[in-house]
């Protein structure tokens, strides 16, 4: 698979990281990007300026990006997964590979694939198996779809950690989503448990019992990490967990835990958007986050 021009749909945290990483790879002649923020007066200067400094071509539309790209990488929010694929489909060059990084259910990915493949493109799903920072483009990814094996070989040539798991669409996403039920659920449980323990003044009793049961985990440090990640990315995590709930539902089960996790992630995201955690350093202990939650509860 000879891919020389790459287009990024979405120029957020992941798009910026992938753009910088791929731009430096041998054989990549051009990397472009399109993001709705490029079209908004309030955000255009900062976002297109960042792209220019990184050597990324900021396109004026999704249509222009599609026309210039042999590989399109979709890195948008989970709720926009299908819409982006459907919007891009009419503008694809024949044979364009569409790599979907978004955290969406198998059913959503299959509908996105129908749009891309129906327009003459080649859809490949990716399950990104951990946070992109600090791995960058070397973040572990599972690929699925008819072209997964061929694309994985090209991505590995660029130093990426891409593993094809199935020619059947939905398998890679199912792996990712089932993991998210556990990992994002654990984040939500820690926030609820720790904040409640803090409210009762019993955290010095609760955490040692967790360490006794799971001695390999540093519960103080892990708690601080979970709080910080949800505060920073709660909205994106809530969207992902709604897709995880869809995954559970598509399997025929009631998504009780996944839906509750989405609600908890959204709750923290809303408080973050209201600037509740503003001023907290990134390395703040979990108690600092919990105290702000308790203060918000009293208000």
Residue 99: name the closest of 125, 117, 81 by CA: 125
Listed residue (117, 10, 145, 121) closest to 74, CA to CA? 10
- Domains detected in the chain: 5-168 (3.40.50.720), 173-298 (1.10.1040.10)
Whose structure tokens read 């891309």?
116
Classify the phi-psi angles of 241: left when phi > 0, otherwise alpha if psi is within -120 to 50, otherwise beta: alpha
pTM of the model: 0.92
What is the maximal distance between C-alpha atoms in the chain?
62
CA 92 to each of CA 64, 130, 205: distance values in angstroms, whole numbers, following the listed order: 10, 29, 58
Place 1 in a pLDDT band, splitting at 50, 70 and 90.
Answer: low
What does DSSP assign to residue 55? Answer: T
Percent of the chain past pLDDT 70, that is, above it, reads: 99
Residue 99 pLDDT more than 90?
yes
Question: Does residue 72 contact residue 65 with C-beta atoms inside 8 Å?
Answer: yes
Q: 228 - beta bridge partners?
A: none
pLDDT computed for residue 26 by the predictor? 87
Q: What are phi and psi of 7, to 5 degrees?
A: -120, 135
First vs last Cα of the chain: how many Å apart? Answer: 58
Q: How do 122-128 and 141-144 pair as beta strands?
A: antiparallel
- The Cα–Cα gap between 11 and 240 comes to 18
**What is the number of residues in the chain?**
299
Q: What is the pLDDT of residues 249-288, one digit of tens each?
A: 999 999 999 999 999 999 999 999 999 999 999 899 999 9
In the structure, what pLDDT confidence band is assigned to residue 139 with cuts at 50, 70 and 90?
very high
């Amino acid at each position: 698979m000879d891919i020389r021009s790459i287009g990024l749909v979405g120029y957020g945290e992941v798009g910026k990281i992938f753009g910088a990483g791929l731009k430096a790879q041998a054989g990549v002649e051009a990397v472009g990007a399109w993001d709705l923020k490029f079209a908004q007066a309030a955000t255009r200067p900062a976002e297109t300026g960042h792209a220019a400094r990184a050597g990324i071509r900021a396109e004026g539309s999704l249509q222009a990006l599609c026309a210039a790209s042999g590989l399109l990488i979709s890195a948008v929010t989970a709720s926009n997964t299908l819409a982006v694929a459907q919007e891009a489909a009419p503008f694809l060059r024949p044979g364009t590979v569409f790599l979907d990084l978004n955290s969406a259910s198998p059913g959503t990915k299959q509908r996105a694939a129908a749009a891309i493949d129906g327009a003459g493109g080649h859809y490949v799903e990716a399950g990104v198996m951990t946070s992109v920072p600090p791995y960058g483009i070397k973040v572990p990814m599972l690929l699925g779809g008819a072209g997964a094996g061929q694309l994985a070989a090209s991505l590995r040539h660029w130093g990426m950690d891409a593993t094809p798991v199935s020619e059947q669409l939905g398998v890679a996403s199912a792996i990712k989503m089932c993991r998210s039920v556990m990992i994002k659920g654990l984040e939500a449980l820690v926030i609820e448990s720790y904040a409640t323990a803090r409210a009762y003044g019993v955290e010095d009793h609760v955490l040692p019992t967790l360490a006794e049961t799971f001695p390999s985990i540093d519960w103080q440090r892990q708690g601080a990490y979970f709080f910080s990640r949800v505060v920073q990315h709660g909205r994106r995590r809530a969207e992902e967990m709604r897709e995880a709930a869809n995954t559970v539902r598509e399997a025929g089960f009631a998504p009780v835990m996944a839906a509750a996790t989405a609600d908890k992630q959204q709750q923290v995201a809303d408080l973050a958007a209201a600037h509740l955690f503003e001023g907290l350093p990134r390395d703040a202990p979990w108690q600092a986050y919990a105290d702000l939650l308790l203060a918000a509860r009293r208000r």
